[in-house]
């Protein structure tokens, strides 16, 4: 959560920082601030609300400064307010921080005894005072060393950028559990918690690793470990272009990302599904065929949409494996359970951002237990991607909207590929494999034709249901995770209270909810469970339900509304139903006038537990 930016060079720092913050705003949008410095001293500007509010303040106080740091906040300690906004300033030190300092109360008491007073409720202000107290005690001012010394005393997670009063040459950055990347240009350096803020400035980047500290100046990046011992700097090429982070004519990033799915899915499949050769290839797994053959248990771990993608993938994989048990786990639960890991297990960590704190914590625990860990990750170079033994990048490009859509589709498919690769190693014949390859081959086109045919009808449908305050989403078998994901999508962007249920569970409680304030979304597949699900629909109808049925069946349905999705797919049909459900959530949220890309109280990557 939270976005950090920094700049040191010869250009106007204020404008560079503001444009970086706008790109990072999806990480948090409770308040924003920048501190810049030049020949006339420092200017600290902070404002509650979005970056646009800060922008107005900057317009009234423009400075030709050449160094600065900035922050857009998702509140943890202390309400969203100007007082609690970053950068924090204590003594000679300015600090922006992403993460949580767990022992800040203890440090606060020590620092209060030394005469420090605190204006905010934040852990970050305490951290700032700590660095200042060390800095003030130095005979020869050394900001890098002051940061290194302070890090010995804090417990918790951080990505930080630090400036000192009167020092126009350096920004010191450090990370532990919260991403930071430094872009290196010609006599200038850019700092960001996400590489999207660097696009258009430079493609030469240095990803900080945990426990590294860097001094950034016009001369470049000077990197050390947590004991101030020099570390080699590895400069990598950033593969992200400006197109990928623009709306390209769509009203919202969310709609753009829904519509990108045929193309992003092709990127996921590219080079991995070789139809002509009847071959599947996953280069990054780093597992031999013998190791794949040994696999008996697959843990699939993630949060939110990534968790639901894992659940959907487990329904897929169970169709063609008979000696593999799949264990789906919510990362924020698993990390505090005393769970057992059987022999011959691998663990998949599913994450768009690759930074989700709970998923990362599970990864570290599984590694400690010696389990083979694989990532199903989108963000290249992210923490999870770096810590796993191997994995599958989903390659969907930047997903800017807080609500995850294109990542879900590609995560489910990437895990299906992993399941098929295991099955192949265990002896799945070509004849058995071909139908799956054939489905994967037509999936992008099928998604495209669903988008083309359903966009307008679903837009109209959404207008009719946008005034409801409650919704039930139901489905059976592999449409159950689609119901869960559909309900999550609707609630997070429309604020309609929506719950996903297994259709067969309705009679065990949820059916009591049905009244005129509710509508129900039922997913019905034209397969062996058709009659069973229709019985559930009839039961809801008998109780006055306002039911929208999404189905690939041509039979008469008889509910208030029916969305017909036309698909030849069998195994992968749920992904088509899900696209219809994404469009519905999007248009309901638009109809309700919500901030679709940046829903209230949320942030794109959840780097706090
Ligand atoms: O970056 P991750 O995939 O690890 O994020 C996991 C969840 O935070 C994320 O899917 C969240 O639930 C989305 N807002 C759902 O749209």
Instruction: Encode pLDDT of 395-422 as tens digits.
Output: 999 899 999 999 999 999 999 999 999 9
State whether 270 and 361 are in the same domain. yes
Find the angle CA(327)-CA(353)-CA(389) to the nearest 5 degrees.
55
301 CA to centre of ligand 1 in angstroms = 12
Ligand 1 neighbourhood includes 385 CB (under 6 angstroms): no
Catalytic residue chosen out of the listed positions 108, 176, 489, 604: 604
pLDDT band at 248 (very low <50, low <70, confident <90, very high): confident
* 402 and 603 Cβ atoms separated by less than 8 Å: yes
Q: What pLDDT score was predicted for residue 100?
A: 87
Residue 434 lies in a domain: no
Residue that terminates a domain, selected from 196, 221, 245: 245
137: Cα within 13 Å, side-chain hemisphere: 12
* pLDDT tens digit sequence for 545-563: 999 999 999 998 999 999 9
State whether 209 and 280 are in the same domain. no
Ligand 1 neighbourhood includes 257 CB (under 6 angstroms): no
Ligand 1 neighbourhood includes 353 CB (under 6 angstroms): yes
**What CATH number does residue 216 fall under?**
3.60.20.10
Q: Among 62-66, 179-183, 349-353, 455-459, which stretch is predicted with the lowest mean pLDDT?
A: 62-66
Span 127-143, average pLDDT? 97
Percent of the residues in the chain that have a pLDDT greater than 70, as a whole number: 100
578: which 2 tokens?
A: 């899900």
338 CA to centre of ligand 1 in angstroms = 24
**Ligand 1 atom at minimal distance to the Cα of residue 356:** 4
**Ligand 1 atom at minimal distance to the Cα of residue 384:** 4
Q: Which residues pair with 45 in a beta bridge?
A: 34
State whether 469 and 497 are in the same domain. yes
* pLDDT tens digit sequence for 273-285: 988 887 898 989 9
* pLDDT tens digit sequence for 446-504: 999 999 999 999 999 999 999 999 999 999 999 999 999 999 999 999 999 999 999 99
- Would residue 604 show up in a list of annotated catalytic residues for this protein? yes
- Provide the domain limits for residue 544: 447-595
Give the chain's mean pLDDT: 94
Q: What pLDDT score was predicted for residue 604?
A: 79
Residue that terminates a domain, selected from 180, 215, 245: 245
**Ligand 1 atom at minimal distance to the Cα of residue 353:** 1
- CA–CA separation, 149 and 108 (whole Å): 17
- Would residue 362 show up in a list of annotated catalytic residues for this protein? no
State whether 303 and 195 are in the same domain. no
Residue in 194, 196, 306 to alter for ligand 1 test, most ligand atoms within 8 A of Cβ: 306
Residue in 193, 254, 304, 402 to alter for ligand 1 test, most ligand atoms within 8 A of Cβ: 304
Ligand 1 neighbourhood includes 482 CB (under 6 angstroms): no
State whether 267 and 171 are in the same domain. no
* 131 and 147 Cβ atoms separated by less than 8 Å: yes
| Residue of minimum CA distance from atom 7 in ligand 1 | 304
352 CA to centre of ligand 1 in angstroms = 7
Report whether pLDDT(140) > 80. Answer: yes
State whether 222 and 355 are in the same domain. no
Report whether pLDDT(337) > 80. Answer: yes
Residue 438 lies in a domain: no
Strands 518-524 and 470-475: parallel
Phi, psi of 322 (to 5 degrees): -115, -5
Report whether pLDDT(1) > 70. Answer: no
Q: Among 27-31, 192-196, 376-380, which stretch is predicted with the lowest mean pLDDT?
A: 27-31
Span 121-139, average pLDDT? 96
| Residue of minimum CA distance from atom 11 in ligand 1 | 304
Report whether pLDDT(394) > 80. Answer: yes
476 CA to centre of ligand 1 in angstroms = 23
Residue that terminates a domain, selected from 374, 394, 428: 428
Report the candidate in 605, 602, 607 with the shortest Cα–Cα distance to residue 178. Answer: 607
**Ligand 1 atom at minimal distance to the Cα of residue 403:** 16
Residue in 356, 384, 401 to alter for ligand 1 test, most ligand atoms within 8 A of Cβ: 356
**What CATH number does residue 501 fall under?**
3.40.50.10490
Residue 441 lies in a domain: no
- The angle, 0 to 180 degrees and rounded to 10, between the axes of the packed helices 406-425 and 261-269 is 30
Ligand 1 neighbourhood includes 607 CB (under 6 angstroms): no
State whether 404 and 485 are in the same domain. no
Catalytic residue chosen out of the listed positions 2, 303, 362, 373: 2
- CA–CA separation, 337 and 206 (whole Å): 36
Ligand 1 neighbourhood includes 304 CB (under 6 angstroms): yes
Secondary-structure breakdown of the chain: helix, strand, coil percentages, each rounded to the nearest 5? 40, 25, 35
Strands 31-38 and 67-73: antiparallel
41 CA to centre of ligand 1 in angstroms = 41
318 CA to centre of ligand 1 in angstroms = 24
538 CA to centre of ligand 1 in angstroms = 34
407 CA to centre of ligand 1 in angstroms = 9
Residue 442 lies in a domain: no
Percent of the residues in the chain that have a pLDDT greater than 90, as a whole number: 84
Report whether pLDDT(4) > 70. Answer: yes
Q: What pLDDT score was predicted for residue 244?
A: 78
3-state secondary structure of 459: helix
* pLDDT tens digit sequence for 151-207: 999 999 899 999 999 999 999 999 998 889 999 999 999 999 988 899 999 999 999
Q: What pLDDT score was predicted for residue 62?
A: 81
State whether 241 and 256 are in the same domain. no
Q: What pLDDT score was predicted for residue 99?
A: 87
Residue 347 lies in a domain: yes
| Residue of minimum CA distance from atom 14 in ligand 1 | 403
Q: What pLDDT score was predicted for residue 126?
A: 97
State whether 18 and 93 are in the same domain. yes
Ligand 1 neighbourhood includes 605 CB (under 6 angstroms): yes
Find the angle CA(394)-CA(395)-CA(400) to the nearest 5 degrees.
105
State whether 461 and 574 are in the same domain. yes
State whether 540 and 469 are in the same domain. yes
Ligand 1 neighbourhood includes 303 CB (under 6 angstroms): yes
Span 295-300, average pLDDT? 98
| Contacts for 99 with CB less than 8 Å, ≥ 6 apart | 156, 157, 158, 159, 160, 176, 177, 178, 607, 608
Residue 318 lies in a domain: yes
Q: What pLDDT score was predicted for residue 30?
A: 86
Report whether pLDDT(240) > 80. Answer: no
Residue in 352, 360, 379, 486 to alter for ligand 1 test, most ligand atoms within 8 A of Cβ: 352
Ligand 1 neighbourhood includes 306 CB (under 6 angstroms): yes
Residue in 333, 404, 481, 485 to alter for ligand 1 test, most ligand atoms within 8 A of Cβ: 404
Ligand 1 neighbourhood includes 129 CB (under 6 angstroms): no
| Residue of minimum CA distance from atom 10 in ligand 1 | 305
Residue 440 lies in a domain: no
Domain count for the chain: 3
3-state secondary structure of 270: coil
3-state secondary structure of 207: strand
Report whether pLDDT(261) > 80. Answer: yes
Residue 590 lies in a domain: yes
State whether 342 and 366 are in the same domain. yes
Ligand 1 neighbourhood includes 403 CB (under 6 angstroms): yes
Ligand 1 neighbourhood includes 359 CB (under 6 angstroms): yes
* pLDDT tens digit sequence for 86-128: 999 999 999 999 988 999 999 999 999 999 999 988 899 999 9
């Amino acid at each position: 959560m939270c976005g950090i930016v920094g700049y040191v060079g010869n250009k106007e720092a204020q404008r560079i920082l503001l444009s970086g913050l706008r790109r990072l705003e999806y990480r948090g949008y409770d308040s924003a601030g920048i501190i810049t410095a030049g020949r006339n001293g420092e200017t600290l500007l902070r404002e509650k609300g979005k970056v646009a509010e800060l922008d107005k303040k900057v317009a009234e106080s423009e400075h030709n400064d050449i160094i600065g740091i900035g922050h857009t906040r998702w509140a943890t300690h202390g309400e969203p307010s100007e007082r609690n906004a970053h950068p924090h300033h204590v003594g000679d030190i300015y600090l922006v921080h992403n993460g949580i300092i767990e022992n800040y109360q203890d440090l606060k008491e020590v620092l209060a005894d030394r005469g420090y007073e605190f204006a905010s409720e934040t852990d970050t202000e305490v951290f700032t005072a700590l660095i200042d107290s060390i800095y003030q005690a130095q005979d020869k001012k050394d900001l890098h060393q002051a940061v290194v010394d302070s890090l010995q005393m804090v417990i918790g997670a951080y990505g930080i950028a630090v400036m000192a009063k009167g020092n126009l040459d350096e920004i010191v950055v450090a990370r532990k559990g919260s991403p930071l990347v430094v872009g290196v240009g010609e006599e200038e350096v850019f700092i960001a918690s996400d590489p999207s803020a660097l696009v258009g400035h430079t493609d030469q980047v240095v990803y900080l690793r945990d426990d590294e500290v860097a001094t950034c100046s016009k001369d470049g990046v000077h990197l050390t470990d947590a004991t101030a011992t020099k570390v080699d700097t590895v400069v990598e090429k950033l593969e992200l272009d400006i197109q990928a982070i623009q709306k390209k004519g769509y009203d919202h990033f969310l709609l753009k990302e829904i519509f990108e799915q045929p193309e992003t899915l092709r990127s996921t499949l590219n080079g991995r599904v070789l139809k002509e050769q009847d071959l599947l290839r996953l280069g990054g797994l780093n597992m031999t065929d013998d190791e794949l053959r040994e696999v008996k248990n697959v843990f699939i771990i993630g949060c939110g949409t990534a968790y639901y993608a894992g659940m959907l993938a487990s329904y897929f994989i169970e169709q063609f494996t008979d000696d593999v048990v799949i264990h789906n786990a919510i990362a924020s639960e698993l990390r505090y359970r005393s769970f057992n890991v059987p022999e011959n297990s691998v663990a998949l960590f599913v994450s768009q951002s690759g930074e989700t704190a709970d998923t990362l914590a599970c990864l570290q625990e599984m590694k400690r237990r010696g389990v083979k860990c694989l990532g199903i990750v989108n963000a290249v170079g992210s923490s999870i991607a770096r810590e796993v033994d191997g994995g599958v990048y989903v390659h969907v490009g930047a997903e800017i909207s807080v609500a995850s859509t294109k990542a879900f589709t590609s995560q489910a498919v990437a895990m299906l590929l992993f399941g098929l690769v295991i099955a192949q190693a265990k002896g799945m014949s070509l004849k058995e494999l071909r139908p799956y390859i054939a489905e994967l081959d037509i999936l992008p086109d099928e998604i495209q034709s669903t988008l083309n045919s359903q966009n307008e009808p679903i837009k109209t449908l959404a207008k009719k249901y946008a005034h409801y305050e409650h919704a039930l989403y139901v489905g059976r078998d592999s449409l159950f995770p689609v119901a869960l994901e559909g309900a999550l999508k609707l609630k997070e962007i429309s604020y309609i209270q929506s719950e996903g249920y297994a259709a067969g569970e309705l009679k065990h409680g949820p059916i009591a909810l049905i009244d005129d304030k509710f509508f129900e979304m039922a997913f019905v597949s034209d397969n062996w469970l058709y009659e069973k699900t229709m019985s559930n629909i009839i039961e809801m109808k008998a109780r006055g339900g306002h039911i929208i049925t999404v189905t690939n069946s041509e039979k008469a349905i008889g509910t208030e509304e029916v969305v017909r999705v036309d698909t030849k797919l069998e195994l992968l049909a749920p992904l088509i139903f899900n696209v219809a459900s994404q469009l519905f959530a999007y248009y309901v949220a638009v109809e309700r006038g919500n901030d679709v890309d940046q829903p209230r109280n949320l942030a794109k990557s959840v780097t706090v537990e």
